[in-house]
Amino acid sequence: MTDGMSDPSEPAEEAQQPVEVPHGLLSADALRGVAEAFVLREGTDYGAKEFTHEEKVAQVLSALERDEALILFDPESNSVTLRLRD
């Protein structure tokens, strides 16, 4: 239709929600890549103790293994991020 109204026979475009990706489905290389990208995006650590890049990556991988963090794929931006579980 050209009058600005949506055609009820066509499915409405809905915002796609991020999808959880179980870390066990990723190869070791892919999982490490996701963890490294996350650490690099997080920036400088201003805590009481500085950690090396490798230590931070190990902490992220450990949090995923303990099921304290999850991997989310956003189909709208075609990007991946990590966050702590609620």
Task: Map out the domains of the chain as residue ranges.
Answer: 19-84
Q: How far apart are CA 17 and CA 72, in angstroms?
A: 10
pLDDT of residue 5: 59
pLDDT of residue 69: 96
For residue 35, the tally of other CB atoms under 10 A from its CB is 23
Mean pLDDT score, 3-17: 65
15-64 residue pLDDT tens: 789 999 999 999 999 999 999 999 998 766 666 788 889 999 999 999 99
pLDDT of residue 78: 93
**CATH 1.10.10.610: does it fit domain 19-84?**
yes
- Taking phi over 0 as left and psi of -120 to 50 as alpha, with beta for the rest, 84 belongs to beta
pTM of the model: 0.74
Share of the chain above pLDDT 90, in %: 65
